[in-house]
Structure 1
Amino acid sequence: MGTPVSSIRNLGPSFEAACARAGIRSAEELRELGADAAYGRLLESGARPHFIGYYVLVMGLQGRTWNDCRGAEKAALRKRFDAIKAAKSDEGRSRLEAALDEIGVIERR
């Protein structure tokens, strides 16, 4: 089964449950995916996008405290987050529209 996701610094039971819903079952799998791909899977599984959650994940995978992210590094992470969110989140779309988009029937917003 592997090491629990919650064994990674900053990541608790709630994040571990979100990972499980996204099919990420262990800390090893999360590390292998990396922050961006894992966060994309979380969004695809229905998690609501939240910048702090994203950078907490990035910092945790680096073994750093969540509040260690500042300045230019935080601005760069914001750009990465916005790109992931734009590619993976269907905010404002119905489930039907999202499903139709997934199979290529309607244009992606």
Structure 2
Amino acid sequence: MNDPVSSIRNLGPAMEEACAQAGIHSAQELRDLGADEAYARLLAAGTRPHFIGYYVLVMALQGRPWNDCKGDEKKALRERFDAIKVKAKSTPPADGLPAELAQFLNTHGLAKPR
């Protein structure tokens, strides 16, 4: 049985939908990818980068409350987040479309089937 992404504590329907748009369809798939690769896929699928979303994902995959880390650990997460954003900006989308356009088309049911 494949548990949905939203079965992971602190990840709700919005994250589940974003993951589905990024081709991540189960909690186990998300765990197997890990936070950094999963977040990179979310960005490639058109999710706008937001540190809190990344931070919540990291904490959720560790089984920790969303607001659990502080200080140096949180600073290190910010550096990882920034590196993921930079890489996402320099990586062209697989379909050749800008991420925002691809997300718009997907949201409105106009995207090409994969």
Tell me if both proteins adopt one fold, taking TM over 0.5 as the criterion.
yes
Once the two structures are overlaid, the 10-residue window that deviates more, 80-89 or 34-43, is 80-89
Equivalent positions of 1:65-104 (< 5 A) are: 65-89=65-89, 98=98
Amino acid at match of 1:50: H
1:61 alignment partner in structure 2? 61
- Deviation of 1:98 after TM superposition, in Å, equals 4.6
Which consecutive unaligned segments of at least 5 residues does structure 1 have?
A: 91-95, 100-109
Stretches (4+) displaced over 3 A = 96-99
Which residue identity does 2:6 align to in structure 1?
Answer: S
Across the aligned residues of Structure 1 and Structure 2, the Cα RMSD in angstroms comes to 2.0
Shift of 1:89: 3.3
Aligned partner of residue 9 in structure 2, secondary structure: coil
Contact 1:11–1:60, Cα closer than 8 Å, also in 2: yes
- The DSSP-based 3-state class of the residue aligned with 2:60 is helix
2:110 aligned residue: none
How is 1:6-85 mapped onto 2 (pairs within 5 angstroms)?
A: 6-85=6-85
TM-score by length of 1: 0.81
Aligned to 1:106: none
**Cα deviations across residues 45-80 of structure 1 (Å, max 9, x unaligned)?**
000000000010000000000010211000000000
Give the AA of the match of 1:11: L
Residue 76 to residue 23, structure 1, CA distance change in 2 (3 Å): same
Q: How many percent identity over aligned positions?
A: 70
Aligned residues: 95
Structure 2 unaligned residues grouped into runs of 5+: 91-95, 100-114
TM-score by length of 2: 0.78
SS at match of 2:67: helix
